[in-house]
Structure 1
Amino acid sequence: MKLCDIAHARTGDKGNISNISVIAYDPADFDYLARELDEQRVATVFSSIVQGTVKRYDLPQLGAFNFVLSQALGGGVTRSVALDAHGKSRSAYLLDLDLAER
């Protein structure tokens, strides 16, 4: 099963920080996603572009998580030579992640 089967995502940026929010379609999937999407796993997914830390903030009342990826935008939106300087496509990349069977 892919992450996109049970969740959607949004992205944002500020300076050299990118954030990805993952929101479960069904809040009942929150605990399952909490086990599957820890900071280390998301850091591994983006290891080629994130030079800093990955911090996860849990929002159980929304059935969501916010991942903050520091040093992830090549120096910042206005300084980066990256094709996607804002990191908007990163949410789609994360949603393609394979999840373990429940």
Structure 2
Amino acid sequence: MKLREIAHVRTGDKGDTSNMAVIAYRRGDFDRLCEVLTAERVAAWFADSRPTDAAPVRRYELPALGALNFVLPGALRGGVTRSLALDAHGKGLGAALLDLELED
């Protein structure tokens, strides 16, 4: 099962950092997200997109919203005003995260 089947993603940016909120469609799926969607797993998923010397990915839990917020330093390759990437805001990163395969 893909992450997109139980959650949706909203993204934002600040400088060179991408911010992704993963929000469960159903309240009951939040605990599963907490279990399988670790900061380390998200960092590994985006390993090719971030510099090796970037600060670690951070995860914040928002149980009242049924959401996890991930902060990915260095993911925007210089930030909106400096990056030559086609997706300088990182909106495509959220769509890429939704392709993550979850264990059934």
TM-score where L is the length of structure 1: 0.96
Give aligned-pair identity as a percent. 59
Q: Distance in 1 between matches of 2:24 and 2:83?
A: 31
2:98 equivalent to 1:95: yes
Q: Distance in 1 between matches of 2:24 and 2:77?
A: 29
Residue identity matched to 1:4? R
Q: Distance in 1 between matches of 2:13 and 2:27?
A: 25
Q: Distance in 2 between matches of 1:93 and 1:54?
A: 16
Moved over 6 A (4+): none
Q: Which runs of 5+ in 2 are unaligned?
A: none
2:73 equivalent to 1:70: yes
User: In the alignment, what sits opposite 2:39?
Assistant: 39
User: In the alignment, what sits opposite 2:13?
Assistant: 13
